[in-house]
């Protein structure tokens, strides 16, 4: 018989994680743990990737809904739960926990050349918001580590400082040597966005994520059509739970790229549908984690590898924490690896307490 319980831990960031939604010092994480009553050592674990201030299910009732999910399993209702549509982080955790227990808790959710240690995944170097000096320091570190794709947050400093940073980068690293992605997190005002994008286009950018706030599809559509910088949708995808709504989003806005975050969009199968629909409109995409610890990152990375998308993926979140869950995942330069010789250490997952 399979039963379920919750585990809860708090993780401290190596450095303050500064975003347009605030600065994060710690991450509070719930895990859904499924286990066999006759052998509790066989456990499937899924991470609730709740991103405070951004997740669709960052709202009143989250903990109650999470407990209801546990109760449902303990009452003998197994499998995925179609009622979790409005709770994407719980849906992601449940989907991956079931996937894990079906492989006897091995965490080998998608066996491949990646999990065998024969291949790796290319990732972008994430540059957090900060002072001008701090951003330049982060960039230098990533370049010294060998990254050929950087993702920079914009909209935090004044425009002159951000342009100066881009100019310094392009002076030494042309577009054929360094791919630059920008992420505005909706920081641009719709009336000013096109003019700003025209200015930014001087720097041979790969793309810019979410230049204006989500929820303005007609304005975003006009911007995608006119922008000299290819636009990627990120926050715009959150809360779009049905196939018709997702298809309408792509048909109306017509972005060049999608940034797909399983923890924010309802899981791997949900992102797979976004990918299928993107194929109908010729929209390209890449996968990004969203502050997951190694449990969630492991599921996302293994699945991402099976997609064989050769673009740089956003899968570096496992390196953000002072003390992550020890796992076979590790970073070397701009590549994410899985060492099958390394063991998981799950001893730190204790019974849940309310944060």
φ, ψ for residue 45, nearest 5 deg: -125, 135
**End-to-end CA gap in the chain:** 30
Domain ranges of the chain: 2-101, 121-338
From the candidates 27, 99, 153, 256, which is the catalytic residue? Answer: 153
Q: How many CB atoms lie within 10 A of CB 162?
A: 21
Residue 121 β-bridge partners: 336
Q: How many CB atoms lie within 10 A of CB 173?
A: 16
Structure tokens at 296: 């969630």
From the candidates 99, 240, 256, 261, which is the catalytic residue? Answer: 261
Has 261 been annotated as catalytic? Answer: yes
What pLDDT sits at residue 158? Answer: 86
Mean residue pLDDT across the chain: 92
Map residue 200 onto helix, strand or coil.
helix
Structure tokens at 244: 């018709």
Express as a percent the part of the chain with pLDDT over 90.
Answer: 77
Contacts of 257 (CB under 8 A, 6+ apart): 207, 230, 231, 232, 233, 283, 284, 285, 286
2-101 — its CATH code?
3.30.390.10
What pLDDT sits at residue 150? Answer: 97
Residue with tokens 């779009």: 240
pLDDT by residue (tens digit) across 185-203?
999 999 999 999 999 999 9
DSSP string, 86-153: T-HHHHHHHHHHHHHHTTTT-S-SS-STTTTTS--EEBPEEE----HHHHHHHHHHHHHTT-SEEEEE
Give the lowest-confidence range in 261-265, 285-289, 344-348.
344-348
Has 107 been annotated as catalytic? Answer: no
One of 3.40.630.30, 3.20.20.120, 2.30.40.10, 1.20.1440.230 is the CATH number of 121-338, namely: 3.20.20.120
Same fold, 2-101 and 121-338: no
CA–CA gap between residue 286 and residue 272 (Å, rounded): 11
DSSP code at position 291: S
């Amino acid at each position: 018989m399979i039963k379920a319980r919750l585990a809860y831990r708090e993780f401290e960031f190596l450095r303050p994680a500064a975003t347009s939604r605030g600065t994060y010092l710690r991450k509070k994480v719930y895990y859904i743990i499924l286990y066999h009553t006759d052998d509790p050592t066989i456990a499937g674990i899924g991470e609730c990737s709740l991103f405070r201030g951004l997740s669709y299910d960052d709202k009143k009732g989250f903990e109650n809904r999470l407990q209801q999910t546990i109760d449902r399993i303990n009452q003998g209702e197994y499998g995925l739960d179609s009622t979790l549509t409005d709770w994407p982080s719980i849906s992601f955790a449940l989907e991956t926990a079931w996937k894990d227990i079906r492989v006897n808790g091995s965490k080998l959710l998608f066996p491949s050349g990646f999990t065998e240690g024969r291949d790796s995944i290319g990732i972008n170097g994430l540059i957090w918001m900060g002072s001008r000096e701090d951003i330049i320091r982060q960039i230098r570190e990533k370049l010294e580590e060998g990254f050929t794709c950087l993702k920079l947050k914009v909209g935090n400093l004044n425009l002159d400082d951000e342009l100066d940073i881009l100019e310094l980068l392009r002076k030494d690293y042309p577009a054929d040597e360094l791919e630059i992605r920008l992420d505005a997190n909706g920081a641009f005002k719709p009336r000013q966005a096109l003019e700003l994008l025209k200015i930014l286009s001087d720097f041979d950018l790969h793309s810019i994520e979410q230049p204006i706030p989500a929820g303005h599809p007609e304005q975003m559509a006009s911007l995608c059509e006119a922008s000299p910088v290819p636009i990627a949708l990120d926050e715009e995808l959150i809360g779009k739970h049905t196939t018709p709504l997702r298809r309408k989003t792509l048909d109306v806005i017509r972005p060049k790229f999608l940034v797909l975050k399983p923890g924010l969009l309802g899981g791997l199968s949900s992102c797979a549908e976004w990918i299928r629909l993107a194929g109908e409109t010729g929209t390209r995409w890449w996968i990004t984690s969203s502050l997951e610890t190694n449990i969630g990152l492991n599921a996302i990375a293994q699945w991402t590898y099976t997609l064989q998308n050769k673009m740089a993926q956003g899968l570096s979140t496992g390196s953000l924490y002072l003390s992550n869950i020890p796992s076979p995942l590790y970073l070397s330069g701009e590549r994410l690896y899985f060492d099958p010789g390394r063991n998981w250490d799950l001893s730190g997952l204790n019974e849940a307490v309310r944060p």
